[in-house]
Amino acid sequence: MAEEAFPLHYLVWNNQYQELDRELQKKQHDMERLDPRGRTPLELSVCLGHLESTRVLLRHNADPTHNNTQGWTVLQEAVSTGDPELVQLVLQYRDFRRATERLAGIPELLSKLRQARDFYVEMKWEFTSWVPLVSKVCPSDVYRVWKSGSCLRVDTTLLGFEHMTWLKGRRSYIFKGGESGAMVMEVDHEKQVVYTEPLSLSPRDTPSLLAAMLPSQENTAQRLTSPVVSTHLNTRNIAFERNKSGIWGWRSEKTEVVSGYEAKVYSAINVELVTRSRTEHLSDQDKSRSKGSRTPLQSFLGIAEQHISSTGSQVSQCASPHNPTAITAEEYFDAEFNLNGRDIGRPIELTSKVQRFKATLWLSEVHPLSLAEQVTPIIDLMAISNAHFAKLRDFITLRLPPGFPVKIEIPLFHVLNARVTFSNLCGCDEPVSSVTVLSPQEATEPGQTPPPLQCEIDPSVFEPPPEYTTLGPGRSEPMRDEDDNLLQFAIQQSLLDAGTESDQVTIWEALTNTRPVSQPPLYEEDSQLERAIQESLSLSLAGGESGESDPGLPLSPSDPALNSPPCYSSLAEPRVPGAFAVATSFDEQLRIAMELSCREQEELDRIPSYKFTILVLLKNCQSMALMDKHKVKRQRLDRICEGIRPPILNGPMHPRPLVALLDGRDCTVEMPILKDVATVAFCDAQSTQEIHEKVLNEAVGALLYHTITLSRDDLDKFKGLRVIVRIGSGFDNVDIKAAAELGIAVCNVPAASVEETADTAMCLILNLYRRVTWMHQALREGTRASSVEQIREVAGGAARIRGETLGIIGLGRVGQAVALRAKAFGFGVIFYDPYLPDGVERSLGLQRMATLQDLLIHSDCVSLHCSLNEHNHHLINDFTIKQMRQGAFLVNTARGGLVDEKALAQALKEGRIRGAALDVHEAEPFSFSQGPLKDAPNLICTPHTSWYSEQASIEAREEAAREVRRAITGRIPDSLKNCVNKEYLMAASQWPSMEATTVHSELNGAAAYRFPAGLIGVAAGGLPGAGAGVEGIVAGSLPLAHAIAPVSHPPHTPSPGQPSKAEADRDIPSDQ
């Protein structure tokens, strides 16, 4: 009987997960035992799509990395089912398994490192291809390896391949082993940052580590819409044979000298690279997109490609999607029963490609390095996070002929080979400053093994430079799944003799060795360069009205004229009265710039920081002018112009831009991010009437929560405000259209509180169903529940969750997070969101409703997760409540204005709504003592706190500060990440001229200016006497400014009665 022979498999087949859990707790069964069809219980559960049984098996440490008899992993089988929850679960436990195995293998690797002799070696990686001319686009890299005791350092400049581009960079990976653990450091020399990660050998906190491995929804969706690809080297028939040299009749075994060592040359024949792709889980659209994305090179290389589909076995009417041919348990577990090609799981659609290669090895029997003792542990360590090293490890673990492989050439992908050469052992070929050879190699007789080289490694090699910034775990690149992306690398990068490194070529240009089409000439570069130099000179030279200084001589940095630079709206416009006169000749301007550059070093110690920036820019102008000005690269010119244009105010230089926190008094999170570029103040106000006059006059940036409202009249009070950042996702407390008309960008922080809001919404839903709040209140009031009747009375109305239907209005970030949580509790989830692209519901396993009415009719519980605007105010009203099911629940963690509280209170009293939970309210702060809800029964209310957690609060504040920093140091709105009124801002007409009195030109004694059309700016200055009259001042010291480029795009207007999902707030969670 199958139940007795394969008890775990039989329970999995019937999805009896509770009984399966009890059996596994006995620890009497082998969870990795194979059934007659070659599957473990976990593989069987995944193929049948049994989510509950899969979760139980993984929780009991079933191996998610196991390969079945066909070579497919558990994750690949999960992807083939098309179930996003199953994929996410298996992927989480697979990554968790890899992490724990990585930690478990550290002690053995450290032990091998300690036992091996110290050495230094260079591993040169060269990537080559058999495709004509493609080898020219392949990079090379030299891994420099230092090993001393249990310490290891590996330097590299080739980081990998991503998005069709070779990733370059200067990185060092340092492993420092100790008795109780190890420290891994990734040193980014370009950014001067060190990422450290301790690898503890003690038992980890399993729940927290497992939770950290939860994959993102984007990762899951990407896997479900892409083919399942498996690439491996088939070495079953591999054989090694000596290469021959010479002509026929006088041929001899080939030897070559590699890195100073005589090596025998071997060829590894019958090496097969097998690539298999499965597409049965893809929709027709995804399959078409996958086929359509094939490049000409991929089509050209598609030789020996076999397409294998299902045999077309008859499908029974009682079959399930995961058992299409209705195989019974008796048939499946009977090893002697012939299934005639039938199998469980979706019918496989397989494409297989086989390509044969010849690998080459150069083996030296006199090399002093030991492959097993010294090199293999290092390759094992690097293979944890580097797929190329993993391939090398798989190859060198074969039974190689005797000798050390001083050079190896192996295939990596269809068109890409890797050639690895070991050289400069212990610095004998080229001296290395950090390596000292203790026993130089002596001459030996041919065939005699030389004495081992001994060297001493400077301990400072394993320490990062002290001036680098040390951070926690961050940028380490995980080992990516293998795919065919490397086949397209010739399209993106070319080192062909006909072009340059920066040229972009097509595949036909690469194969025909033709130069790519050049860009059209940049006719405006000359004028832009002249205007840039004029700009820098106007800020640095004396002249103009006074006539006291020679315009041909540099201006002294102490000259007061530099403290009151001219105001103008653009570099193309003529100077306003009072501006400095500049030379019109290009040669004259260049001569002056060169004279200024010569005196730069002399004046560095005396000039303020913002004037130093100007002189540095002049030096850049000098360097560029030495080149042919017609061939100046656009990006270099743009860099100069961007540096000269004031990034926050297109007017006077502002030494201390003021940023104010309007409705809070804690700036400890924002201050470290902004203190070097701005003055930070807090106001702790509930209305603009409570904001200090200096903030209204001088603030260029504002941070705010949801407790203060900024209408058009309020915005008019700010004289220099140019960016508002809402610390949270909702921005209905700011009139974004009015802000755009005033030239003010409004931003938000949409993603900081997604998890918190989704968790709160789910808690409220569960509370309504299980009536926890009312039971607690009854016990507080003295109710006893000692009998069954009393229990029924206290728990009256509690309902079962499984099988209920949850309707979600607005499937943004929070809506999707709630949907996944609800499915885990057994809800059937439907949603209404007319702005969501088609196909998203398929990757999430949800059902889309065509209209709001359809959702209300079919939902047992409705949860709101959309933003609020004038079109969806009171979306839930008396009319829509009557369309809901009798006795349905309502939850709102989005915006209070979405629900008509009077209609809701009446529905609760009449029993049409069984219960409601509101975290947001029409009038806030909310109080039960007033308003229409004060007498409503079966109601749970919280004070707009669904967004809050300590972690989310800090993340939101940090991101808000970074957004303000981007506005200050960049350009508005181009540099902003989450600008919610960008469309209105771009569509707004040119801003009118502003009189000097409008922008308080009297500050800092500045002369009266007239601000021309299109200008965004405030007068020079800051807060004289920082801290005077304003609480919480934190001084900054950098000159900054900005500009808003006019663009015309019509604003998006949603249809009436629909939840607002304008592009600016497409994925904004309703968290705050």
Instruction: Output the DSSP codes for 860-896.
Output: SEEEE--B--TTSTTSB-HHHHHHSPTTEEEEE-S-G
38-52, 232-246, 592-606: the lowest-pLDDT one: 592-606
- State how far the alpha carbon of 57 is from the alpha carbons of 21, 53, 427, 863, in Å: 8, 6, 52, 33
In a domain, 76, yes or no: yes
In a domain, 126, yes or no: yes
Mark whether 636 and 662 lie in a shared domain. Answer: no
In a domain, 509, yes or no: no
User: Which residue in the list 19, 924, 1031, 1063 is annotated as catalytic?
Assistant: 924
Mark whether 738 and 630 lie in a shared domain. Answer: no
Burial 526-550 (b: 16+ CB within 10 A, else e): eebbbbbbbbbbbbbbbbbeeeebe
pTM confidence score: 0.42
For tokens 């196909």, the residue is 839
Is residue 419 part of the annotated active site? The answer reads no
Q: Is 733 exposed, middle or buried (0-12, 13-18, 19+ CB in 10 A)?
A: middle
Checking if the pLDDT of 292 tops 60, the result is no
User: pLDDT tens digits, residue range 621-632?
Assistant: 444 444 444 344
For the chain, give the percent of residues with pLDDT over 90. Answer: 23
Mark whether 872 and 939 lie in a shared domain. Answer: yes
**Domain extent for 573:** 525-644
In a domain, 344, yes or no: no
244-248, 363-367, 484-488: the lowest-pLDDT one: 484-488
In a domain, 612, yes or no: yes
Domain boundary among 644, 667, 686: 644
Distance CA 957, CA 726 (A): 9
- State how far the alpha carbon of 889 is from the alpha carbons of 177, 436, 659, in Å: 57, 76, 44
Distance CA 670, CA 680 (A): 8
Distance CA 160, CA 151 (A): 24
Mark whether 976 and 1053 lie in a shared domain. Answer: yes
Residue 587's pLDDT band, with cuts at 50, 70 and 90, is low
Distance CA 424, CA 438 (A): 15
Q: If phi over 0 gives left and psi between -120 and 50 gives alpha, with beta otherwise, what is residue 920?
A: beta
Mark whether 620 and 692 lie in a shared domain. Answer: no
Mark whether 634 and 655 lie in a shared domain. Answer: no
User: Which residue in the list 60, 144, 895, 966 is annotated as catalytic?
Assistant: 895
**Whole-number pLDDT of residue 295:** 44
Average pLDDT estimate for 833-858: 90
**1048 Cβ contact partners less than 8 Å away, ≥ 6 residues apart:** 986, 987
Mark whether 677 and 627 lie in a shared domain. Answer: no
**Whole-number pLDDT of residue 495:** 31
**Whole-number pLDDT of residue 415:** 60
User: Which residue in the list 276, 771, 865, 944 is annotated as catalytic?
Assistant: 944
Q: Which amino acid does the sequence have at 995?
A: E
**Whole-number pLDDT of residue 660:** 92
Three-class DSSP category at 471: strand
347-361, 604-618, 967-981: the lowest-pLDDT one: 604-618
User: pLDDT tens digits, residue range 907-943?
Assistant: 999 999 999 999 999 988 888 888 899 889 999 999 9
125-139, 220-234, 960-974, 1017-1031: the lowest-pLDDT one: 1017-1031
49-53, 481-485, 624-628, 994-998: the lowest-pLDDT one: 994-998
Instruction: Please tell me the total count of domains within the chain.
Output: 5
Mark whether 713 and 777 lie in a shared domain. Answer: no
Domain boundary among 644, 678, 707: 644
User: pLDDT tens digits, residue range 526-570?
Assistant: 444 445 445 444 444 444 433 333 333 333 333 333 333 333 332
Mark whether 625 and 668 lie in a shared domain. Answer: no
Please provide residue 928's backbone torsions phi and psi, each rounded to the nearest 5 degrees: -75, -15
For the chain, give the percent of residues with pLDDT over 70. Answer: 62
Please provide residue 733's backbone torsions phi and psi, each rounded to the nearest 5 degrees: -90, 5
Distance CA 281, CA 225 (A): 8
Please provide residue 789's backbone torsions phi and psi, each rounded to the nearest 5 degrees: -65, -40
In a domain, 297, yes or no: no
* 8 A C-beta contact, residue 46 and residue 15: no
Please provide residue 423's backbone torsions phi and psi, each rounded to the nearest 5 degrees: -150, 175
Mark whether 817 and 935 lie in a shared domain. Answer: yes
Is residue 698 part of the annotated active site? The answer reads no
**Whole-number pLDDT of residue 294:** 52
Is residue 606 part of the annotated active site? The answer reads no
In a domain, 910, yes or no: yes
Q: Which residue has the higher pLDDT, 912 or 870?
A: 912
Specify the DSSP class assigned to residue 708: S
Pairing, β 228-234 against β 252-253: unpaired
Mark whether 720 and 845 lie in a shared domain. Answer: no
In a domain, 232, yes or no: no
CATH of the domain at 1024: 3.40.50.720
CATH of the domain at 365: 2.50.20
Domain boundary among 609, 644, 679: 644
Mark whether 761 and 909 lie in a shared domain. Answer: yes
Dihedral angle sign, alpha carbons of residues 847, 850, 854, 860: positive
Distance CA 790, CA 803 (A): 27
* 8 A C-beta contact, residue 876 and residue 901: no
